[in-house]
Structure 1
Amino acid sequence: MSFLNEEVMWDAVIHCQEAYDGLFCYAVKSTGICCKPSCKSRIPLKENVTFYSSVSAAMADGYRPCKRCRPNLLQSNEEELVQSIKQLIERDYHHTLTLEQISLHVGMSKYHLQRVFKRNTGMSPLEYVTKLRVDEASTRLQTTEQTITDIAHDLGYTSSAHFSNVFRQQTGYTPSEYRMRR
């Protein structure tokens, strides 16, 4: 945002300039809402406006996306969006990963994220996390002597009992039974 100073951004807001959409967003303290520069809503008082480089940054500060201009849906290509979500999940599935964290990362509501992801992959983000974890656990159970407890903790489960339950639901085997199959 080096070429964007507050004066340029404010001018873009008061003139509803679409050319600046995606380059920054603004948040209005009095309403708790963030908008695209091209939003056709009433122009806020300048002293109530804060500028952000992204919608996700504004949302992280507690602002909600405007229902009129929907700044959180700037990315129109759902396939690219889903690919971005999958990359985030694939990078971090070993850790606790919530829908809230993912939604803040991509800059959209968790409800919309859930719908878009499921429509494009056939599963929810949580189901995708579970699939990745079970796939890796299956490989480790077959190729290593690592304990079930260690595998569970390495994959982000807080207890081996929870891990065993999820693994059995997904594969039809307990981790011990699965390991004996090798």
Structure 2
Amino acid sequence: MSSIDLSFEEMWKIILNCDRTYDGLFFTAVKTTKIYCRPSCRSRKPKKKNVEFFLLKAEVERAGYRACKRCQPEVEHSPHVDLVQQVVTFLVNHAKEKITLDDLASHVGVSPFHLERVFKQETSVTPRGYLEKVRIGKAIFLLENTSKTNLDICYGVGFKSPSNFYKVFKKWMKQSPNDYRKELSRSGYDAMERP
């Protein structure tokens, strides 16, 4: 399995949202309980300072963690899990690029029809919808943690036009990027430029 290009903060948000499309791509380990979970685990969330992330099951188990009895991260639940994980990894790592369904299907070695059907069955969104979700997640991270302009964020996360960025952002977040940032300011959140 290839490595996935996500920061600690991005993985933290994924586990807060219990996003099952990342199951198997990384594992959440809780230092205080010595238990590891899937990103989608519905158990009570630990304190952020007590969490570490591992990309491989063997690594987390070597570090002395045992599997959660609730989400059973050591068990693969679906025959399509490898295919979905390959697609998710590719979409996360190549989110800035132009990606067509045909390109994606060719990359994982299945027909576009099969890929779209299986991916939607497992994740409840199409690969295109998932790519939007990844880009919006990265945009939110940048809106919250940098002072970059909306235009810089738009192109930086892979959108080809500001109008498409605003439309997709509003579809997922029910508000514009400007309104999202204003809401952060009102709540006392200070965005700072980070390297």
What interval of TM-score do these two structures reach, taking the shorter chain for normalisation? 0.5 to 0.7
Higher helix share: 1
Instruction: Give the drift of 1:77.
Output: 3.4
Query: In the aligned structure 1, how far is the partner of 2:165 from the partner of 2:102?
Result: 22
Q: Give ranges in structure 1 of 5+ residues lacking alignment.
A: 1-75
1:133-175: per-residue Cα shift (whole Å, max 9, x none)?
1111112112111010110101111111210111011111111
Q: Is structure 2 residue 82 aligned with structure 1 residue 85?
A: no
Q: Is structure 2 residue 163 aligned with structure 1 residue 161?
A: yes
Match of 2:119 among 117, 128, 134: 117
Instruction: Give the drift of 1:178.
Output: 0.5
Equivalent position of 1:27 in the other structure: none
Equivalent position of 1:130 in the other structure: 132
Equivalent position of 1:141 in the other structure: 143
Equivalent position of 1:180 in the other structure: 182
Which structure's CA Rg is the greater one? 1
Instruction: Give the drift of 1:122.
Output: 1.3
Query: In the aligned structure 2, how far is the partner of 1:88 from the partner of 1:165?
Result: 24
Equivalent position of 1:96 in the other structure: 98
What letter is aligned with 1:145? S
1:31-73: per-residue Cα shift (whole Å, max 9, x none)?
xxxxxxxxxxxxxxxxxxxxxxxxxxxxxxxxxxxxxxxxxxx
Equivalent position of 1:70 in the other structure: none
Instruction: Give the drift of 1:124.
Output: 0.8
1:4-25: per-residue Cα shift (whole Å, max 9, x none)?
xxxxxxxxxxxxxxxxxxxxxx
Query: In the aligned structure 2, how far is the partner of 1:121 from the partner of 1:128?
Result: 8
Query: In the aligned structure 1, how far is the partner of 2:149 from the partner of 2:182?
Result: 13
Stretches of 4+ aligned residues off by more than 2 angstroms: none
Instruction: Give the drift of 1:125.
Output: 0.5
Structure with higher RCO (Cα < 8 A, 6+ apart) = 2
Instruction: Give the drift of 1:132.
Output: 0.8
Query: In the aligned structure 2, how far is the partner of 1:151 from the partner of 1:103?
Result: 28
Query: In the aligned structure 2, how far is the partner of 1:158 from the partner of 1:132?
Result: 15
1:79-114: per-residue Cα shift (whole Å, max 9, x none)?
111111111111111211111110001111101100
Work out the percentage of aligned pairs sharing the same amino acid. 33
Query: In the aligned structure 2, how far is the partner of 1:146 from the partner of 1:133?
Result: 15
CA RMSD of aligned residues (A): 1.4
Query: In the aligned structure 1, how far is the partner of 2:160 from the partner of 2:111?
Result: 27
Q: Give ranges in structure 2 of 5+ residues lacking alignment.
A: 1-77, 185-195
